[in-house]
Amino acid sequence: MLTDTLAPTPNPIRHDAPEEIPVLDLGPYLRGDPGALHALGKQLGHALENVGFYFIVNHGIEQALIDRTFAAARRFHAQPVDEKLKIKLDSNLRGYEPLKGSTTRHSAFEANNRPNLNEAFFIGRDLAPDHPDVLAGRPFRGLNQWPDDLPGFREDVLADCRAAEKLGLALVPVYAVALGVEPGFLMRGFEDPMFTFRMSHYPQTGALEDNEFSLAPHADMSFMTLLPDNEVPGLSIRLPNGRWIDAPAMAGSFLVNGGDLLRRYTNDRFLATPHKVLNRSGVERYAIPFFMDCSYDFVMECLPTCRGEHNPARYEPISYAEFRKFYRRSHYGNV
């Protein structure tokens, strides 16, 4: 039966699921070594079917770029709140979201009724003011809102987004192989992919109320989330066997996970694993996740290799734009 709601349901608990987050070495694949695509596809399929998270190493992104972007996040959040509020989050979900500015209402994992103890700056693709989608006022396709007074900030952030998107797109054929379709098959959904880049600041938390988090348990919405390694702990992951673990640190790596978009597209074959943040480290914490989605008008329809006689499609085909609107409603109220 097709589900008539877009609300995500939790992955069922699987007691035999692995406890380790797999580490995928992208070196051979990015070098074009023979056989590397298929070998990597196999590892990626295993990771996303059983864990929902994996590390990547030898991904080709320079650490200096990541360091610069963390520094940009610090710089942004060091501004006075009034300055940040000049570019308050708009209906396209771009701009500044203040501390306690969001409540993770779409979570199916806990009664998240308290606002998140983080502040964040969001951008999407940096469209030109005369882009037809901007002129037409298409939802989520508006202009980014940049701070007035941070020279170099925009350039640094956009350089990071370009690198992260290139990496994300390079991984799409690996997802295709993992899902048993031709390597180029999924690219039709990524001709002009949407993305959200989030620069978060998690202040140190004091005593917390019940159900209070730096970022409440949630699954991402994305097709793929790329999260550079963080030297400050705080992220934890609910493994498919139901156990929460602290995300291990791995210098120079990215931690990658799938969101509800991927899960839906693959008929629940690939997991959208819940995670949360609590900053009890004693220092300020920053994070710079890049959420890569598919193209705006792309209609996600259950992949042919993810359904069968005994495994019918669980979800209606839906365009990315409609899917995203649901998330906006459930996460941001009436923004």
Ligand X SMILES: O=C(O)CCC(=O)C(=O)O
Among residues 167, 271, 287, 303, the one that binds ligand X under rule CB under 6 A: 287
Q: Does 230 bind ligand X (CB under 6 A)?
A: yes
Among 89, 194, 215, 294, binds ligand X (CB under 6 A): 215
Report if residue 293 touches Fe ion, rule: CB under 5 A.
no
Q: Is 262 in the site for ligand X (CB under 6 A)?
A: no
32: alpha, beta or left, given left = phi > 0 and alpha = psi -120 to 50? Answer: left
Q: Nearest CA to 260 among 3, 7, 46? A: 7
x/- track of binding to ligand X for residues 56-95 (CB under 6 A): ----------------------------------------
Contact predicate 71/160, CB 8 Å: no
- Specify the residue, 197 or 320, whose C-beta has the smaller distance to ligand X: 197
State the binding string over 205-224 for Fe ion (x if CB under 5 A, else -): ---------------x----
CB of 324 to Fe ion, least distance (A): 16
Whether the Cβ atoms of residue 250 and residue 57 lie closer than 8 Å to each other: yes
**Sequence-distant (≥ 6) Cβ neighbours of residue 64 within 8 angstroms:** none
| Alpha helices per DSSP H over 10-55 | 27-31, 36-50
Q: How far is the CB of 103 from ligand X (least distance, A)?
A: 14
Binding span for ligand X by CB under 6 A among 122-130, 140-148, 227-235, 314-322:
227-235
In the chain, which residue ranges form alpha helices assigned H by DSSP?
A: 27-31, 36-50, 63-77, 81-85, 132-136, 153-178, 260-265, 320-332
The count of chain residues that interact with ligand X, using the rule CB under 6 A, is 11
Q: List the interface residues with Fe ion, window 13-42 (CB under 5 A).
A: none
Give yes or no for residue 123 binding ligand X (CB under 6 A).
Answer: no
Tokens of 99: 């501390």
Residue in the shown chain whose Cβ atom is closest to ligand X: 287
Q: Which residue is nearest to Fe ion (CB)?
A: 220
> Which of ligand X, Fe ion, none binds 277 (CB below 5-8 Å, type-dependent)?
ligand X
For residue 325 the two structure tokens come to 């609107």
Q: Per this entry, what is the length of the chain? A: 335
Rounded CA gap, 261 and 270, in Å?
Answer: 10
Choose the contact partner of 230 out of ligand X, Fe ion, none; CB within 5 to 8 A by kind: ligand X
Residue that is written with structure tokens 């609590």 in the block: 278
**40 binds, options ligand X, Fe ion, none, Cβ within 5 to 8 A by partner type:** none
Q: Residue 11, interface with ligand X (CB under 6 A)?
A: no
Least spacing, CB of residue 214 vs ligand X, in Å: 8
In the chain, count of helices (H) and strands (E)? 8, 15
268 interacts with Fe ion by CB under 5 A: no
Say if residues 62 and 54 touch (Cβ distance below 8 Å).
no
